[in-house]
Structure 1
Amino acid sequence: MFNQKLEQESVWDYPRPPKLEAIDAHIEIVYQGIKIADTKGAYRVLETSHPPVYYLPPDDVQMEYLIPVSGQSFCEWKGVAKYYNIQVGDQVLSKVAWYYPEPTEKFGAIAHYIAFYASPMDGCYVNGEKVTPQPGNFYGGWITSNLIGPFKGEPGSWGW
C-alpha cells in the first residue's frame, strides 16, 4: 500500500508498461459544490512520464450525478474504456469520467472503477491537497506537489 504521506516521486521512475497500485490516500472530487466522490479505497495507475491516474470504487462515487454516454476508447494496457458525463442541476460536463468494464487481466482490479479528469472539477484532492491536472486535454493524470516531471502532455512531449 502507498502510505498516507506522499513521498517525492519522479514520473520517470514509473514503469512502462504501467502498473496498478492500491493506495490508502484520501481521494475527494468536488463539482458545483457537491462532493461527487470520497474514498480511501482507490487504485492508481503509474506509467513512465505520466502523473498517476486515480480509479475510484463506484460505491464511493455519487453515481446519481454520472450519466453513461455512447462512445469508447482503447488503451493498449487496460482495454476498452467507456465514459460518463457528470450532471449537477443544469450543468453538464461531457465525458469527464471513464471506466473499464472488462479490463485486461493485469488491470482486473479496476473493473468498473471510475477515473476523472481534474481540470473541469471545482477540485480533486489527494490527502487534502488540490491536484493540478496533467497538461494536455487527452490525459487524466493528477499532479500533486510531491511529483517531479516533466510530464507527458507538456508542450513538445507528443513524441515521447
Structure 2
Amino acid sequence: MTSNQAIPLAPRKAEEDVWKYPRPPALQRTPNRLRVVWTSAEGIETVIADTTEGYRVLETSHPPTYYLPPSAIKVPLTKTSRQTFCEWKGKASYHTFNPPSSSRPINDRIWSYPSPTPGFTPIKDYLSFYASTGMSEAQAGGSWRCFVDDEEVGVQEGDFYGGWITSNIRGKMKGGPGTWGW
C-alpha cells in the first residue's frame, strides 16, 4: 500500500495546463476543500459531501477528477449495478443519490473504485462526482453544485469523463464532440 505522505500534494490555485498533465495519470493529495451541495427546486440546500482530505487524478487533456473519502459523504448513497473499467484505476462501481424533496433519484453520477490498481490504492472506496446530475433541474427536482474551495466548478464536456473545471485550469480538454480521437 502506498503511504499517503509519498503522494505529492497539489499546488493551491496555480495555473495549470491540461496538456502538461501526465499519461499515465498521476494521483495527488489536494489541500483544497471539496464540496458537493444539492439544492432542491424549493431552494433548500443539503450538503452531500464536504472534505479537506481529498485526492485528484491528473491525466493529459483532462481537467482534474476529484475523489472524496467515504467519511466526507453526509447522505446515504446506494450502490447500483453499473460498472465500468479504467485501464489505469481498475473497475469502477456507481452509486445513486436520492435527493430530499425529489421523487427522482440521481443514478450513476457518483463512482468509486472498490479494488483499484496498485498505483491508486489510496483512493479505494473514495467517491467521485460528475459536476452535474446529467439532467435538467426540472427533471431532477433540483441540482447539485460542486466546489473546489469556494469556487463552483465547471462541467467537463461530454458525459463520459468527470473532471471539474476551475478558473486556474487551461487548455483544450477532451470530452466534447470531435475530441475522442486524440
State the TM-score, normalized to the length of structure 1: 0.95
Q: How does 1:20-59 map to 2 (within 5 A)?
A: 20-32=27-39, 33-59=45-71
Correspondent of 1:96 among 109, 117, 124: 109
Listed as ranges, the gaps of 5+ residues in structure 2 are 1-8, 40-44, 134-142
CA distance in 1, matches of 2:132, 2:159: 9
Instruction: Tell me what 2:128 maps to.
Output: 115
CA distance in 1, matches of 2:69, 2:75: 11
1:81 aligns with 2:118: no
Counterpart residue identity of residue 119, structure 2: K
CA contact (8 A) 2:37 2:46 kept: yes
SS in 1 for 2:98: strand
Equivalent pairs, count:
158
Q: CA deviation at 1:44?
A: 0.2
Note the aligned Cα RMSD (angstroms): 1.1
CA contact (8 A) 1:68 1:84 kept: yes
SS in 1 for 2:172: coil
CA distance in 2, matches of 1:91, 1:59: 25
CA contact (8 A) 1:3 1:25 kept: no
Structure 1 residues 13 and 3: alpha-carbon distance in aligned structure 2, compared to 1, 3 A threshold? closer
Q: CA deviation at 1:119?
A: 1.5
CA contact (8 A) 2:82 2:108 kept: no
CA contact (8 A) 1:25 1:127 kept: yes
Q: How does 1:6-25 map to 2 (within 5 A)?
A: 6-25=13-32
CA distance in 2, matches of 1:87, 1:59: 18
Q: Which runs of 4+ in 1 moved over 2 A?
A: none
Higher strand fraction: Structure 1 or Structure 2?
1
Instruction: Tell me what 2:180 maps to.
Output: 158
Q: CA deviation at 1:158?
A: 1.0
Listed as ranges, the gaps of 5+ residues in structure 1 are none
State the TM-score, normalized to the length of structure 2: 0.84
Q: CA deviation at 1:71?
A: 2.1
CA deviation profile, 1:45-86 (whole Å, cap 9, x unmatched): 00000000000000011241x111112100000000000011
Aligned identity (percent) is: 47
Instruction: Tell me what 2:42 maps to.
Output: none
CA distance in 1, matches of 2:54, 2:119: 16
CA distance in 2, matches of 1:75, 1:9: 24
Counterpart residue identity of residue 74, structure 1: F
